[in-house]
Amino acid sequence: MERNGTWTRRDFVRAGSCAGAVVLLGSSRARGLGRWVAAPRGSAPPVVDRLAVRVVVDNAQDALQRSARVGNVEVERVGMIMEPDLGRQVVSQFGLGYHLESRRGDETRNFLLDFGPTAQSELENLDLFKIDTAAVDALIMSHGHFDHFGGLMPLLERDRAKMRRDLPLYVGGEDAFCYRWFERPNGERKSAGVVSRSALDGAHVRLVMADQAAVIAGQAFTTGAIPRNSFEQVLPSTKVEVGVRGGAGCDASHFTPEERAGKIVFDRFPGEHATCFNVKDRGLVILSSCSHCGIINTIRQAQAVSGQTKVHAVMGGFHLSVAPQDYVAQTVQALKDIDPDYVIPMHCSGATFTWMVRDALPGKLIMSYTGTRFAFGG
Ligand SMILES: [Fe+2]
Ligand SMILES: [Fe+2]
């Protein structure tokens, strides 16, 4: 049962066997917004033997960094790209995209989590890193900002025909499909994009609503919606437009009356979710993407739904580059209390956070760049 906004291990939602027990959410379907399947409940999340995380797209690259073993993590750097020719280089852009490969016994699973901001970065880097999209078992989108989904439709347009027939796309809630906006202090707004549900339907992608914790392809799990139980708060400047126009947008019936009817309102990111693995003899590896709802809230939700308190690594965009210094310090102190083995800031984490982690959590900071591949576990 739901307790304080989290799920016990017994109630953990399992999506790996989705095909046999799908649930259609009537409100979305009735309004012609495409079909949802909701993940059925099942047992606790699995333990995997090994996890490799390839950073397909991030803000920056350092081609001079050498591969090394940091503690018990293998860190492989992409270095200079010399082949097939010098005219093709890693593309770094403001955004995030990952390729995840996990192993449990003799079974391997592949995931793409977020897709960078453009076709240019996502597709070129997938090719340069020799990632076989035909082997991908599931797609996962963390939230509905263009810097995380921009490469999704171009990927499907290029590779859908060779990908698995029943390819699922996990999102954390209806708001994944809302029009998003960034707003400057002077009130000027710029679009942060919208994911076309009809285009996804056209690509025969199976939409899975993981608004509660769910196992993905038998090896990963998503946190589901993340309760807000700490000092953290969604930082200003992000807005959401609730409703449908031009054949895209989100179903207003999922939102409060105040948020409905085409209004552009403060974005609470109700459906932002994180992807996680429980790695044997190591603990949780938690992959956040933008952490609008707070990286501490995210970690606590991953611990609560999995029953695993040990955090091996937390990585991703922590959305602290625009946060006040005392807020960043509070976050670092809370991280120190959680005591992960490693902290790997990316994308929107910010230099202040990175420097504070280096000083406050000695030996735990690992730098990440576009192309870096981290291997966790034996
Ligand atoms: Fe974002
Ligand atoms: Fe982002």
DSSP string across 89-112: -----SS-EEEEEEEETTEEEEEE
**Placement of tokens 């710029």 in the chain:** 190
Say if residues 37 and 208 touch (Cβ distance below 8 Å): yes
Give percent above pLDDT 70 in the chain: 88
Domain ranges in the chain are 2-377
Structure confidence at residue 38 as a pLDDT band (50, 70, 90): low
Q: Which ligand has its closest atom nearest to the C-alpha of 316?
A: 2
CA distance 6 to 141: 21
Residues with Cβ < 8 Å from 220, sequence gap 6 or more? Answer: 100, 102, 109, 111, 138, 140, 275, 276, 277
CA–centroid distance, 347 to ligand 2, in Å, is 7
CB atoms within 10 A of CB 27: 14
**Partners of 41 in beta bridges:** 13
Q: Tell me: pLDDT of 155 over 80.
A: yes
CA–centroid distance, 147 to ligand 2, in Å, is 5
CA–centroid distance, 343 to ligand 1, in Å, is 20
Q: Which ligand has its closest atom nearest to the C-alpha of 292?
A: 1
Say if residues 116 and 56 touch (Cβ distance below 8 Å): yes
**Placement of tokens 């409703």 in the chain:** 243
Nearest Cα residue to 210 out of 141, 136, 297, 295: 141
Which strands form 206-209's sheet, in the order they lie side by side? 37-38, 206-209, 168-171, 138-140, 107-115, 97-104, 50-57, 373-377, 73-76, 68-70
Structure confidence at residue 228 as a pLDDT band (50, 70, 90): very high
Q: Tell me: pLDDT of 19 over 90.
A: no
CB atoms within 10 A of CB 71: 11
Structure confidence at residue 205 as a pLDDT band (50, 70, 90): very high
Q: Tell me: pLDDT of 42 over 80.
A: no
- CATH code that applies to domain 2-377: 3.60.15.10
Cα angle, residue 56 at apex, residues 76 and 377 outer, rounded to 5°: 45
**Partners of 180 in beta bridges:** 193, 240
Q: Which ligand has its closest atom nearest to the C-alpha of 192?
A: 1
Fill in the amino acid letter for 94: F
CA distance 311 to 106: 25
CA–centroid distance, 186 to ligand 2, in Å, is 22
Q: Taking residues 87-108, report their average pLDDT.
A: 97
CA–centroid distance, 290 to ligand 2, in Å, is 5
Say if residues 303 and 295 touch (Cβ distance below 8 Å): no
Nearest Cα residue to 4 out of 275, 245, 262, 300: 300
Name the CA dihedral angle for 215, 233, 149, 275, rounded to a multiple of 10 degrees.
-20
Q: Which ligand has its closest atom nearest to the C-alpha of 350?
A: 2
pLDDT, position 287: 98
Q: Which ligand has its closest atom nearest to the C-alpha of 289?
A: 2
The DSSP element (H or E) to which 260 belongs, if any, is none
Q: Tell me: pLDDT of 3 over 70.
A: no
CA–centroid distance, 114 to ligand 1, in Å, is 11
Q: Which ligand has its closest atom nearest to the C-alpha of 347?
A: 2
CA distance 362 to 372: 21
Cα angle, residue 209 at apex, residues 207 and 211 outer, rounded to 5°: 165
- Burial per residue of 335-357, b for 16 or more beta-carbon CB atoms within 10 angstroms, e otherwise: beebebbbbbbbbbbbebbbebb
pLDDT, position 26: 30
CA–centroid distance, 21 to ligand 1, in Å, is 32
Q: Which ligand has its closest atom nearest to the C-alpha of 317?
A: 2
CA distance 207 to 187: 34
Q: Tell me: pLDDT of 335 over 60.
A: yes
pLDDT, position 6: 33
Task: Please state, rounded to an integer, the average pLDDT across all residues of the chain.
Answer: 88
Q: Which ligand has its closest atom nearest to the C-alpha of 147?
A: 2
DSSP secondary structure letter of residue 365: B
Q: Which ligand has its closest atom nearest to the C-alpha of 94?
A: 2
CA–centroid distance, 85 to ligand 2, in Å, is 31
CA–centroid distance, 82 to ligand 1, in Å, is 33
Q: Which ligand has its closest atom nearest to the C-alpha of 115?
A: 2
